[in-house]
Amino acid sequence: MRIDEILASSTSPVFSVEFFPPKTDEGREALFETVEVLRELEPSFFSVTYGAGGATREGTLQTTRAIRDDYGVEAMAHLSCVGETLESLQRIVDRIADAGIENILALRGDPPRGETEWNPHPGGLHYSTELIRLIRERFDFCVGAAGFPEGHLDAPDRASDLRYAREKVDAGAEFLITQLFFDNADFYAFRDNARSMGFEVPIIAGIMPIGNVAQIKRFVSMCGHMGVSTTQGSAGCTMGPPAARL
């Protein structure tokens, strides 16, 4: 089922859970044990991240398909531009469609581990807006995009960042999932400013339970934070959001 349909038809709060694709057989076993437990909570959907440069490309597709087919929960595959040519992105989208997956979160992507700046592939795409258009031109996917209540690291200011989000919606994004945030006021301001600009798509708050402090510190450093706040954003429905992506 398409996520835009889930959001439109639900009469109760919608929440999802995000997974990183497993890299080992042991990790795969542990992940699906977790899926088995968490599906009892009746999440609206699961989503599966995509490693920089396609590092987890196969794992993303296989895990997304298994969650939907073997565990009966709708699933969304992440896709980013990092390290991919236009042709390779087209092939990946074709494979996602062939797998019967209906939902994609379209992302620019973070710089690969060890790099500090975003450098597009010479034969690839520069921004998530281009990826959204590529997907929408080829298939009738439900496409989501990222939003940044605190502003993306590469944006000069929050107003500019919100205009970039508007471009994603205009390109065909049907909902936004936010980066994790530390002050609920930032989320409310982002949501209200988006509505004042005419955004009509659902805006889902990204929440990440703190289970690994080192991981949280790494995520927030990628977003330009100097340290970890003691206040965890709690105004939304999505657990485990994407790291900073434009």
Query: Cβ distance 68 to 75 under 8 Å?
Result: yes
- Residue 83's pLDDT band, with cuts at 50, 70 and 90, is confident
What is the Cα–Cα distance from 241 to 238, expressed in whole angstroms?
Answer: 7
Residue 244 lies inside a defined structural domain of this protein? no
Read off the pTM: 0.85
- pLDDT higher than threshold 80 for residue 110: no
Residue 175 lies inside a defined structural domain of this protein? yes
Residue 246 lies inside a defined structural domain of this protein? no
Q: What residues are labeled active site?
A: 18
CATH code of the domain covering residue 144: 3.20.20.220
How many structural domains is the chain composed of?
A: 1
**DSSP helix/strand/coil, 71:** helix
Domain range for 35: 3-239
The gap from C-alpha 142 to its chain's centroid, in whole angstroms, comes to 13
Percentage of the chain lying above the pLDDT 70 cut: 84
Percentage of the chain lying above the pLDDT 90 cut: 57
Residue 177 lies inside a defined structural domain of this protein? yes
Task: Work out the mean pLDDT of the chain and round it to a whole number.
Answer: 84
Query: Which is higher by pLDDT, 223 or 246?
Result: 223
Q: How many helices (H) and strands (E) does the chain have?
A: 8, 9
Burial letters for 46-82: b for 16+ Cβ neighbours within 10 Å, e otherwise?
Answer: bbbbbbbbbbbbebbbbbbbbbbeeeebbbbbbbbbb
**Please, is 209 exposed, middle or buried when counting C-beta atoms within 10 Å of its C-beta (0-12, 13-18, 19+)?**
exposed
In the chain the first and final C-alpha atoms are separated, in Å, by: 26
Q: In what order do the strands lie in the sheet with 75-80?
A: 203-204, 175-178, 142-147, 103-107, 75-80, 45-48, 16-19, 238-239, 206-207
- Ramachandran class of 227: left when φ > 0, alpha when ψ lies in -120 to 50, beta otherwise: beta
What is the Cα–Cα distance from 90 to 134, expressed in whole angstroms?
Answer: 8
Q: Which residue has the tokens 């469609």?
A: 97
